[in-house]
Structures are given as structure tokens and as C-alpha cells.
Structure 1
């Protein structure tokens, strides 16, 4: 196979050799994967970005898309491996391929903008950052409401760059990571041709060293960003009850009475320790999602058990429950506040607004059944709520978010603008594994910083724990264990810059990305930057193209 050759201002300019580009794409996917929990090597994220940018530079669109797809598969297939534990391989493969397809689009966009980058080498970091944000913005919303897992921002839990979330949320953190990656690729890139370039590229080591230094500074600049809100009121003592389940897997629901009993018994045991002075009395107890999959508003025995727990501890219990209705064949995933003595407070009921497609409801069920009969486990579709999870309890305002909703920017922000002083994430990880729980905790850390709120995650099986407004995790529980953790939290008021500006940083960055793609169209049509490919026959062999480019340069001089 012949090597594609582009002609830039009369000189042959080759992309990276194909074999090396394939290797770079594979390593890029691996570096991105290693940046995320459970590995947590956050500094590898810009390295992965840089490798992918180098691999697709000066490629044809198909080749750029193929290399992006390859990097995406290496990244997403292991990252999402927890989805195949109990549903078989096919749903996992389909989801991984779908997510990788967005990196294929990113690879094609990187190839498309090569002409612009070649002419304005200083623009490469900015172009890289903008394209990553645009790719994530699309992936976070399509199809069926999107799937934001694997955003660059969620890999930065231990990075100083996490604090940038307080200025522009997850999109700005992603932009910072990708911008650093763009600096790295601009620093190390050397055209695959003879060194005489007429002064049109960075030469020598000092510019490269400078760009690497800039990349490092970008990753550290977050340390300068102030985080946290304004403390308000008295400190709140909160208990997280992680009751555990009899066994992991999709059939944990078949033992739903045992799951409910686990959480009741753990709360009653906590009350006994409080009575004996072993632990401070909490102001609020939080149970996880699915802690009562028996509808306590319909089944008196379930209500009696929850009332037993609430009366024993003597404070409100935020229960993760599944309620029947409102229509036939429908259910709701809710956070329900249960008061000691009086029972459910229906004025403090949050209904999950973003049910998970193919897990909590099944779009196009007949077609989906052809892919996997596991969809029939979802016997009743969960219907979404319409109002943010603002719950008033124990003298504070809680922002309730259920499970995967923590990945969606708008869902979390709505609770804070609605008055939430403390973020509560109720989740159920019994159908997954510890890597999924750790990845979700990384999202909670970003949300705490983004909105300047203390936060907690309560899981049926782990990982549960508390997060302060600087993103630090405390009292994290083990996985597949029954545990109770208690901690004081100080509710916070005020709004960070990110809370105030909301969606606008992402809108501005995506608009800039669209502008870059449009400018690339004009640059690709510029006569002095004509693109030719030996596989089309427009240019002879690579050596001949280079020789003709050199003769043209001599003639001009």
C-alpha cells in the first residue's frame, strides 16, 4: 500500500507512518483508560489525547475515523466492562462500539483540521481542546439522552485541574486536559519529511520544551482556583447506611425483602450504638437507591419496617424506593423522606428525572429484544420525574440525585439552583462491580467542586462515602460489604462561577469548535495548501512528490 502524501506549500508533508499511527492509537486508548478509576493515573489523560491527535494528523477522513475508532474501542471496552457482568457480552459490545464511534468522529475531525493546524501550528492545542469538548457534548446527549461515561473531566479526581470545575464545570475541565494534550503533540510532532521547511514549523528543542512546560502548567493551574461555598447554619451529622445485598447480579431484586431488611437492621443497630454513646446521633440517615424495591406506599409490611428504622433512630430517613404507577405497567425510582412517627413525607418526594434506557425503560422494545432477551427483565418502564431533587430535611436543603444522573451536568445543577446546600447521590451498584462504583464516585467529586457543596454517595453495596467541596473523599466504604458511616457536614450556600454560568461555557466552546471546522474547509480549499494523495494518482510516488516540491521551492527562491 502506498503512503499518502500531502503537498503543503509545494513540499511533500506526510502523516505519521501507518503502522506507527495504529500503535499510537492503541496506546492512546490505553492511556485514556489508565487515567480513570480504578487505575487513577490522571496525568495520562493528556498523553492519550496527544497520541490520538498525532495518529490522525494529515490522514484522510476515513483513516482518521478508523484510528479514532480503534482508540475508542481500546478505551471504552475495558472502561465499560462492568456492563457485561450479568447481561452477557452483546449489550457491552454494542455500548462500547457506540461510544467508540464518537471517538471515530473525533478522529475524522482531527484529520479534517490538519490543514489549518499545519498552517497555524500554534493553534493545535486550541483546536484539540475544542474538538474534544464538542465530541463529549454530542456523546453526552445522543442517543436516548446520551451516556456521559468516560468524559476526560471525570478522570481528574486527584488532579489539580479538578478545581477548574468551579469555573466552568466538566466541559472546562475536559477542555483543560485536551488543551494540555494539544500542547504535547505540538511539542513532539516532527513532520515525516526532510528537515528543510522554510521556517514554517517549530524547530529546535526550546519551543518543544516550552510547550511541554505549558502543558504541565495547564494541569497545575487548577491549584490556584478557590473552591467551596459559604457555610450556612449549623453542621449536620449524616449517616450513610450501606446495607448490602444477599448476592450480586440482576436477580438481587428477587430478594428485595432481604435488601430492605438489611437496611432496616443496620439502622436499628446504629440506633443502639447511639443510645450507648458509641456514636453521635445523626440528624439525617440516607439509604441508597433500591433500598426498598417493595413499594412502601402500597405494601404495609414494607412501610412498617421502614417506620421501625426511622422510629429507632429518631430522625428522618431518605429512602431509595421504587413506587408503583402512576399508570399501568409503570414505576418510579424515587428518593422518599420518611419521618419518625409520621411516615412518608410525600411533599419531599423526588422522582428520578433521567431513567437509564434499556435498564430502567426499554425504547423500541421489540427491536431491543432481538438484540438481547435480557431487556425483558425490565417488566415495567420507569417514568421520569419533572422537578429537581430538592428535599428539605433536618434543617437543611438536600439536592437528591439518583445513580447515573450524577453524570449529567444539568440534572445536578438544577438541584443547586433550586436551593440545595448538600448533594446526595443515591445509587445501586449491585449489578456492577467496584470499578463502576469508583468511576461514579469520581463524578461525585467533580460535582462537589463544581457547585461548592459537600456531597455524599450512598450505595447498596459500595462504594459509599463523603466528599468535601474541594473534592476530597472521606470514610469511603468497602465493596460488597454492609457498613454504616457517620460524618458531620456543613451545608453551603452561595453559587460558584460554574453554577451561575451553567451551560454557557460548553456552548461557547462547541460554537468555537464548529467555527474551527468551518475554517478548515476554507483552508483545505486554499490553492497553496492543496491536498494530494498518491493512492488517487494525483501525485506520483512519495519520493517524486518530495523531489518536485523541493524543485518548486528552488525555483521560487
Structure 2
């Protein structure tokens, strides 16, 4: 049994290597294979803790970006998320008694990721298998069935590899089953190259991207004077405008600032209003400003605000998927009584109601705010509302130089392929980037530096199959996994 626990531990660590910043995508199916080998032939109760061990080995390093908030938060998050893996392990031990079990386990993996994206407290879909495949042979599957299908194909490759090892290790010589399993393991990623992709439509837009940087670090990234963050982004915009006048950069059609590029409410503060307005007038095109604005006396909204050089602030998008304990406090009275850090949230945020399709200059951009890029539905309905290209405004200042910024960039890469849209990421401290519709990072910044650029991106309107059918592939895979589990449990009871 210790050998199985060691295999699970190794599987979790190998799986971690697939995720950015290391990004060895091929470790995804290998990690799954090791985890499946650890579970094969194991009783359900033992499988639960073996699965939990593998999950912890994977999640501790993968979610280490949480540590700036506190090691206790990191431990709690990993502890809770690992429970979903334990449940997956128990279900897997039953379906592994059926024929074609690699298929059923891969479906269960999708079900596990779906559940993690729902509960607790609105879900936490980080560290899905799909998000390790920002640019790999598996990435094209996103255009057919979104992130769930990518996770499924990676998991299926892994379970097929484990089935091959089990069969050969059991003394079975080469036969049709072995040959078919090997062929399947090889064919799954190769089929990704056959996925059709929409072509270029000829229309482009020039987008200026501003990364202003921040004065502080960690939870106190604003420093002693929040106005510094706003000044940094205004100054970079003036620098971009000067570069355009000097002929060093082409004139943009629109400009994008990051989330929280001003923590001073420009509706409420004349100082903030004038600073932003001067920068926008200097560059001479609409700017999408990331602002934290007051709502009533004690609430706030995280807003993407279109600022026109002539008419000033206009249309906006309010973030809909809020970060628990970061933008609002669940079980507020209890949490505030138990934790001093919880008071750092301050004003509680209010979630927006409508998708972020904002008319800016010659295009309608699809505004997505930071945390939302991890949630399939948040991005999908933004595309359905007409957003193209997609703009991800993000503030990773508390997590600079951790593995969060590269992990989030990989999500943008997957979304680009999933929806056939160029993606612009604007971050306060990095990584700001331009991702092409085929998932390639065409330009990116460093971290903890002020930077700016103008990039020309395609404006795509053709929809992928994934965009048209939405969550249907996910539901089909979940239903298959659930049916197989019920059938396996029923069979086990009949045989007991």
C-alpha cells in the first residue's frame, strides 16, 4: 500500500510540472497515468486517502501563489480542494472494474473539475487539467468542447497509458487489446491537429496596452499612497502618446488599462477624474480604465470603464464573479470576528449583472475581469454578447513573481482557441500579453515593471463549435461518468 501512495504522490508532483511556469504539458497525461496506477485494484476507503495524497502533492506547489495571503489560507485551500480528488478516487475504484474503464475515469475527472467549479462559495476552478495545456497538441480540442473536453482528452491519454502498463505488467503478451490501447493513447493528442480552425477574416484593430506597476508588494501593493498606482498608469499612457507622436509606435484605436489601475473613484474624486481625463485626451482614443468605484455608502464595484477623450466616462462593465475573501466576505460576521486579515477587504463588492460587451472605437470588446477568466460561462456569454477581441483586465499585484500570472496567461491562451478570439491581457504588474486566436503568445511583458505597447490584433466574428453548443460536452461527459459509476456500484453489490 505504501507503493500505491508513493505512486500517487509521484503522480501529483509530475502533474504539477505540466502547469506554468514550468509548463511541461506532456507531464499532464503522465501524471494522470501514475494516479490511475495508484488506484487500480484498491478498495474504496484506501483509495480515498491515496487520492487525497496525490491531490495534496499536486495542489500544494500548484497553488503556492496563495501564500502571500497567508500559509494558513494556503493549507486550508489545498485541504478543501483535495477532498474532491478523494471523491474522484473512490468513484474510480468502482468504474475500474468495468470494461473500457479508462474512458469512464476520464469522464469522472471532468465531473470532479465541474464540482470544484461550483462549491464551496461559488467554486474554485483553478488547476484544471485543461489549464496546463495553453499551447499543446491538446489545445485545439478547446474549439470543439471547451476546457472540459481538453481536460477529458488529457485524462483519457493518461488512463490509457496506465491501462497499457497494467496489462503488460500482468504478463499479457502483445494482443489486440494492448495494440488498441497503445493506439488510443497515441491517437488522442494527434487528433487535436485535425480539429478545424476558423480562418482570418481580414479585419484588425490596434490596441494600446498599459502596465503601470505598483509601489508595494503582497497584500499591501498600494503602498502608502494609492494615488501612485493611478499616476503610474496615467504616466505610461502619456509615454505611449509621446511614442506615437515620435513615430515609434502606431496610433492605437483603443487603449486598455488593468483592473484596479485606479483605486480612487473617478466619479467621486476630481483629482482622479482629471488625471485620467488628461491621459485619455493625450492619447486621443477611448481607454478602458480599471476602476474601483463606490456604490452607495458602503459598497463598491470592480469596474471596466470606457473613458472617451471627448465625452469622458461612459459605458462600463462591473465584475460579476467576485473573489471570496478578496472582494467580499462570505459569512461576514463570523469571518471578521475570527480574522484580522479579513478586514483588509474593506468595502464589500457588488457583482455586476450583464456580460461585458463594450463598444470602443471601431470594435466591441469583450471585457473579462481577472478571476472570471477561469470560469467557462463568464467568458462564453461575453463572446455571445458580441465581444471581440476579448480583454482580460487583471490585478495580480499581490501575487507578483508567483506562479499565478503564468497560470492565468495559460487560461487566456485556452480561451483564445476555445472562442476564436484574440485576447489582450492588461495587468498592473504583469503579465500583460497579446494572445492570438490560435493560442500563441505574440507579445508579453515582464513582471514588476512599467511597460506599454501597441499591438495589432485580428477581429474575429466566426464562432467555434464550443461557443455554439456551450456546456453540452461537459454535461455529456459528466452523465457518462455518473452512469458508469452507478452501474459499477450495482455490479459490485450483486457480486458481494
| 1:185/1:246 CA distance change after superposition, 3 Å | same
Shift of 1:209: 5.3
Partner of 1:543: none
Shift of 1:299: 0.4
Q: Tell me, in whole angstroms, the C-alpha distance in 1 between the residues paired with 2:229 and 2:197.
A: 38
Partner of 2:350: 383
Partner of 1:264: 234
Partner of 1:83: 66
| 1:313/1:192 CA distance change after superposition, 3 Å | closer
Match of 1:124 among 101, 108, 114: 101
Match of 1:306 among 276, 285, 296: 276
User: How do 1:98-137 and structure 2 match up within 5 A?
Assistant: 98-116=80-98, 120=99, 123-137=100-114
The one-character-per-residue Cα deviations of 1:431-465 (angstroms, maximum 9, x if unpaired) are 00331000000000011100001111100000111
Give SS of 1:337's match: strand
Q: Tell me, in whole angstroms, the C-alpha distance in 1 between the residues paired with 2:175 and 2:444.
A: 45
Partner of 1:21: 4
User: How do 1:97-496 and structure 2 match up within 5 A?
Assistant: 97-116=79-98, 120=99, 123-190=100-167, 203-204=173-174, 207-208=177-178, 210-228=180-198, 231=201, 234-254=203-223, 255-325=225-295, 327-345=296-314, 348-369=315-336, 372-434=339-401, 435-496=403-464
Shift of 1:223: 1.3
Q: Compute the RMSD of aligned alpha carbons.
A: 1.6
Q: Tell me, in whole angstroms, the C-alpha distance in 1 between the residues paired with 2:158 and 2:237.
A: 48
Q: Tell me, in whole angstroms, the C-alpha distance in 2 between the residues paired with 1:352 and 1:61.
A: 41
Q: Normalising to structure 2: TM-score of the pair? A: 0.97
| 1:450/1:520 CA distance change after superposition, 3 Å | same
Give SS of 1:358's match: coil
Give SS of 1:231's match: coil
| 1:98/1:520 CA distance change after superposition, 3 Å | same
Shift of 1:397: 0.9
Partner of 1:15: none
8 Å Cα contact 1:229-1:496 kept in structure 2 = no
The one-character-per-residue Cα deviations of 1:47-90 (angstroms, maximum 9, x if unpaired) are 111111111122222211101110111111111111112x2211
Gaps of 5+ in 2: none
Name the stretch that deviates more: 487-496 or 382-391.
487-496
Q: Tell me, in whole angstroms, the C-alpha distance in 2 between the residues paired with 1:220 and 1:311.
A: 51
The one-character-per-residue Cα deviations of 1:187-229 (angstroms, maximum 9, x if unpaired) are 0014998x6xxxxxx5437744552342122112211112246
| 1:159/1:180 CA distance change after superposition, 3 Å | same
Name the stretch that deviates more: 48-57 or 452-461.
48-57
Partner of 2:468: 500
Shift of 1:328: 2.9
Shift of 1:273: 1.1
| 1:523/1:421 CA distance change after superposition, 3 Å | same
8 Å Cα contact 2:17-2:27 kept in structure 1 = yes
Q: Tell me, in whole angstroms, the C-alpha distance in 1 between the residues paired with 2:62 and 2:336.
A: 25
Give SS of 2:393's match: strand
Q: Normalising to structure 1: TM-score of the pair? A: 0.86
8 Å Cα contact 1:229-1:453 kept in structure 2 = no
Shift of 1:314: 0.3
Partner of 2:23: 40
Q: Tell me, in whole angstroms, the C-alpha distance in 1 between the residues paired with 2:60 and 2:326.
A: 19
Q: Tell me, in whole angstroms, the C-alpha distance in 2 between the residues paired with 1:68 and 1:252.
A: 37
8 Å Cα contact 2:200-2:458 kept in structure 1 = no
Shift of 1:372: 3.5
8 Å Cα contact 1:457-1:464 kept in structure 2 = yes
Q: Which has the larger radius of gyration?
A: 1
Partner of 1:521: 489
The one-character-per-residue Cα deviations of 1:221-257 (angstroms, maximum 9, x if unpaired) are 211112246626x421111100000122211235320
Gaps of 5+ in 1: 1-17, 196-201, 531-557
